[in-house]
């Protein structure tokens, strides 16, 4: 499909090939109607007759197109032309986290200094917090990535961390289209349950985020082997992980042990909870990460060149608006920054599970909307038997409570 360069696909002029994967190739293209560059992910033509692959490809586009978060790639369109199925996404000029890790490894090899691969604690806090924010938002929409790894994390030129390549995405509220026993993903970053071909949920993504942190600390993933099969065996058999690695600070050992627990229920239940535990352990607050200058990017880890070194080095800087909402209520996508109401939120979860109507009443400005939308709703979405709906006052509100698509009585409702 490299022959596509120089041709037109729909309304898009194909300029160059950016990369190739097992399922698709990615191209840089120009969209004349909007005078912008985009990235186009084109499924391999030989897969077009495989219904499962087409469905998976379309499922990725449909799922990610619903997401609006600064740390998640934007999807603009999905179409097909002459048996070529393609997805149109925002084009990001930058580099992947994998690129940066490999550059550091080369630098360490050249210098003979193993510590040259390591990221500083502030760098790790920035990266982890940004990725956790994007993951929590996706998980709140019942979307699981299932292939989180450094190659699927992009940094813009300004340093914005962006999660991309949701090719193995699955919606938790949809039937599984991957048979139990079929392993999908990248072995080194898989959770044990994923390595065994079991059904996975958002806790598998959190495990993968833990693997990424381990690699950024030590320069290697927890399980090493010459073959993917051997790595899968280690993952599935609960082979011991080296938490005594000299590059792992002692205060981070219990955090890594928890996020990389074999039992999913023993892990952090939210990516933001994991990031918060990391920040607390290293003495970094969210306020430390934020520069309230007038820039719209959230978290940035910018690449710069040191005056005395020809190699790029990652320099932590933050160009962001304050993530706190001020006089406005927190939204669902702000769940990763909603702290301090965990006990109250958990009480709401318990109460709403046991009574059909739960009014949340308080003075204006006391945080009712915030605790509902950034606290309660994300937790309810992780339970597959909830349908979350939001209603506004109207002259005749009763029809809103009897929508034509009203689920069966076995489903729960939350407002």
How many domains are contained in the chain? 3
Output the domain CATH number for residue 277.
1.10.510.10
Residue 409 has pLDDT above 60, yes or no: no
Least confident of 37-46, 210-219, 283-292: 283-292
Confirm whether 322 is domain-assigned: no
Cβ-proximal residues to 348 (8 Å cutoff; 6+ apart), any chain:
358, 360, 371, 372, 375, 376
Co-location of 361 and 304 in the same domain: no
Question: For residue 74, what are its two tokens?
Answer: 């934007």
Least confident of 20-24, 152-156, 233-237, 297-301: 297-301
Confirm whether 325 is domain-assigned: no
Cβ-proximal residues to 15 (8 Å cutoff; 6+ apart), any chain:
5, 27, 28, 29, 30, 37
Co-location of 176 and 234 in the same domain: yes
Least confident of 148-152, 260-264, 293-297: 293-297
Secondary structure letter of residue 331 according to DSSP: P
Strands 386-388 and 412-414: parallel
Q: Note whether 255 and 274 are within 8 A (CB).
A: yes
Confirm whether 133 is domain-assigned: yes
Among 32, 57, 90, identify where a domain stops. 90
Co-location of 110 and 246 in the same domain: yes
Residue 399 has pLDDT above 60, yes or no: no
Cβ-proximal residues to 232 (8 Å cutoff; 6+ apart), any chain:
183, 187, 190, 195
Co-location of 172 and 306 in the same domain: yes
Q: Note whether 127 and 121 are within 8 A (CB).
A: no
- pLDDT, residue 59, reads 77
Confirm whether 326 is domain-assigned: no
Confirm whether 327 is domain-assigned: no
Phi, psi of 96 (to 5 degrees): -95, 160
Co-location of 244 and 392 in the same domain: no
- For 95, counting Cβ atoms within 10 Å of its Cβ (0-12 exposed, 13-18 middle, 19+ buried), the class is middle
293-309 mean pLDDT:
34
The DSSP H or E segment spanning 276 is helix 271-282
CA 90 from centre of chain: 16
288-316 mean pLDDT:
39
Least confident of 206-210, 216-220, 381-385: 381-385
Residue 366 has pLDDT above 60, yes or no: yes
How would DSSP label each residue in 243-255?
TT-TTS-GGGHHH
Confirm whether 31 is domain-assigned: yes
Among 291, 316, 341, identify where a domain stops. 316
Higher pLDDT: 156 or 301? It is 156
**For the chain, first and last CA: distance in Å?**
48
Say which residue the tokens 């349950």 belong to.
Answer: 193
pLDDT digits (tens, 9 = 90+) for 25-54: 899 999 999 999 999 988 887 777 776 777
Confirm whether 40 is domain-assigned: yes
180: confidence class by pLDDT, cuts 50, 70, 90: very low
Co-location of 104 and 155 in the same domain: yes
Catalytic residue check, 52: no
Residue 130 has pLDDT above 50, yes or no: yes
Average pLDDT, the chain: 77
Co-location of 201 and 161 in the same domain: yes
Phi, psi of 183 (to 5 degrees): -95, 125
Say which residue the tokens 């005749």 belong to.
Answer: 396
Co-location of 16 and 55 in the same domain: yes
- pLDDT, residue 402, reads 52
Residue 278 has pLDDT above 90, yes or no: yes
Co-location of 275 and 301 in the same domain: yes
Co-location of 336 and 245 in the same domain: no
How would DSSP label each residue in 367-402?
SHHHIIIIIIHHHHHTSTTEEE------SS-GGGGS
- pLDDT, residue 62, reads 81
Phi, psi of 212 (to 5 degrees): -60, -45
- pLDDT, residue 256, reads 97
Least confident of 42-46, 140-144, 217-221, 402-406: 402-406
- pLDDT, residue 363, reads 78
325: confidence class by pLDDT, cuts 50, 70, 90: low
How would DSSP label each residue in 31-95?
EGGGTEEEEEEEE-GGGTT-HHHHHHHHHHHHHHHT---TTB--EEEEEEETTEEEEEEE---EE
Q: Note whether 279 and 285 are within 8 A (CB).
A: yes
Question: Which sign, positive or negative, has the C-alpha torsion 14, 17, 18, 19?
Answer: positive
Q: How far apart are CA 296 and CA 159, in angstroms?
A: 12
Q: How far apart are CA 56 and CA 65, in angstroms?
A: 14
- pLDDT, residue 185, reads 60
Computed on alpha carbons and rounded to an integer, the radius of gyration of the chain in Å comes to: 22
Q: Which of 147, 165, 205, 334 is catalytic?
A: 147
Q: Note whether 23 and 60 are within 8 A (CB).
A: no
Q: Note whether 127 and 266 are within 8 A (CB).
A: no
- The most confident of the ranges 278-287, 296-305, 325-334 is 278-287
Confirm whether 321 is domain-assigned: no
Co-location of 139 and 8 in the same domain: no
Q: Note whether 156 and 92 are within 8 A (CB).
A: yes
Higher pLDDT: 198 or 393? It is 198
Among 90, 113, 130, identify where a domain stops. 90
**Alpha helices in 88-161, H assignment, sequence order:** 97-111, 121-140
From residue 249, alpha-carbon distances to 208, 253, 255, 327, 367 in Å are: 20, 7, 11, 39, 37
Q: Which domain holds residue 39?
A: 2-90
Output the domain CATH number for residue 42.
3.30.200.20
Co-location of 214 and 289 in the same domain: yes
């Amino acid at each position: 499909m490299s022959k596509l360069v120089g041709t037109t696909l729909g309304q898009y002029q194909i300029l160059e090939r950016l990369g190739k994967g097992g399922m698709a190739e990615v191209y840089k293209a120009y969209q004349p109607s909007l005078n912008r560059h985009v990235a186009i992910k084109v499924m391999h033509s030989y897969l077009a007759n495989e219904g499962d692959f087409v469905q998976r490809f379309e499922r990725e586009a449909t799922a990610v197109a619903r997401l609006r978060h600064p740390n998640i790639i934007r999807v603009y369109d999905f179409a097909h032309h002459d048996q070529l199925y393609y997805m149109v996404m925002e084009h990001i000029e930058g580099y992947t986290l994998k690129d940066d890790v490999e550059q550091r490894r080369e630098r360490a090899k050249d210098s003979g200094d193993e510590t040259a691969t390591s990221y500083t604690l502030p760098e790790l806090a920035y990266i982890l917090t940004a990725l956790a924010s994007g993951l929590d938002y996706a998980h709140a929409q019942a979307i699981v990535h299932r292939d989180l790894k450094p190659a699927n994390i992009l940094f813009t030129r300004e340093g914005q961390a962006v999660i991309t390549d949701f090719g193995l995405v699955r919606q938790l509220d949809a039937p599984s289209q991957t048979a139990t026993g079929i392993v999908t993903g990248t072995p080194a970053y898989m959770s044990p349950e994923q390595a065994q071909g079991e059904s996975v949920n958002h806790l598998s993504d959190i495990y993968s985020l833990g693997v990424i942190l381990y690699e950024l600390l030590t320069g290697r993933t927890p399980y090493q082997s010459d073959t993917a099969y051997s790595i899968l065996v280690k993952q599935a058999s609960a082979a011991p992980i080296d938490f005594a690695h000299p590059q792992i600070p002692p205060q981070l050992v219990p955090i890594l042990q928890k996020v990389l627990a074999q039992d999913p229920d023993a892990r952090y239940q939210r990516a933001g909870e994991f990031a918060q535990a990391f920040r607390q352990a290293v003495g970094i607050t969210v306020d430390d990460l934020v520069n309230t200058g007038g820039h719209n990017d959230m978290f940035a880890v910018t690449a710069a060149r040191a005056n005395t070194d020809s190699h790029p080095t990652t320099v932590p800087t933050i160009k962001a608006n304050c993530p706190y909402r001020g006089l406005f209520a927190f939204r669902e996508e702000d769940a990763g920054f909603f702290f301090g109401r965990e006990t109250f939120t958990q009480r709401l979860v318990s109460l709403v599970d046991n009574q059909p109507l739960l009014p949340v009443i308080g003075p204006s400005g006391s945080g009712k909307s915030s605790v509902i939308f950034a606290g309660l709703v994300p937790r309810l979405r992780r339970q597959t038997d909830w349908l979350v709906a939001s209603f506004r006052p109207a002259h005749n509100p009763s029809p809103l409570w009897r929508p034509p698509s009203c689920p069966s009585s076995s489903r729960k409702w939350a407002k």
